[in-house]
Amino acid sequence: MDVTAGSSLAQLKPTGVASDRKQAGPTLTIEYFSLGPNPLTAKANVPVTAVNKDGARHTVRSGTTNELDGIFDAEVGGGDTGQPVVGEPGTYTYVCSIHPGMKGTIEVTR
């Protein structure tokens, strides 16, 4: 499943889908209804591996609980792994729109 939103590239590729990206990125761990590490540092256009260790479905959506900005929008089912990608350098806040207490920051560099 690929998800594209906003002016930057935002994708979610389930585990097992081949990717033409050569560089490995950081891991965002979803566990016990929390997200970490926070802040997370990633390079532009390099996938962040989101590992959901909870049984519940979560999202990693850019923006805040009250205002999502559409830069990236990934849904990761319970026990699944996905790869959201941010195309532009900057600092992005994100939230799980299902569980609004789960939030963090991704610092994207060149």
Q: Domain segments of the chain: what residues? A: 27-109
Give the pairing of strands 27-31 and 34-36.
Answer: antiparallel
Question: What's the mean pLDDT when you consider all of the chain?
Answer: 83
Residue 4 — very low, low, confident or very high, per pLDDT cuts 50/70/90?
A: very low
DSSP state of 78: T
User: Does pTM surpass 0.95?
Assistant: no
Q: What is the CATH number of domain 27-109?
A: 2.60.40.420
Residue 11 — very low, low, confident or very high, per pLDDT cuts 50/70/90?
A: very low
Is the CB of residue 93 less than 8 Å from the CB of residue 62?
Answer: yes
Distance, CA of 60 to CA of 52 (rounded, Å): 11
Which pLDDT value is given to residue 68?
A: 94
Which pLDDT value is given to residue 91?
A: 96
Distance, CA of 4 to CA of 11 (rounded, Å): 6
- Who wins on pLDDT, 6 or 109? 109
Tens of pLDDT along 62-102?
Answer: 999 899 998 998 899 999 998 888 999 999 999 999 999 99
Which pLDDT value is given to residue 3?
A: 35
Number of Cβ within a 10 Å radius of residue 10: 22
Distance, CA of 25 to CA of 63 (rounded, Å): 21
Number of Cβ within a 10 Å radius of residue 70: 14
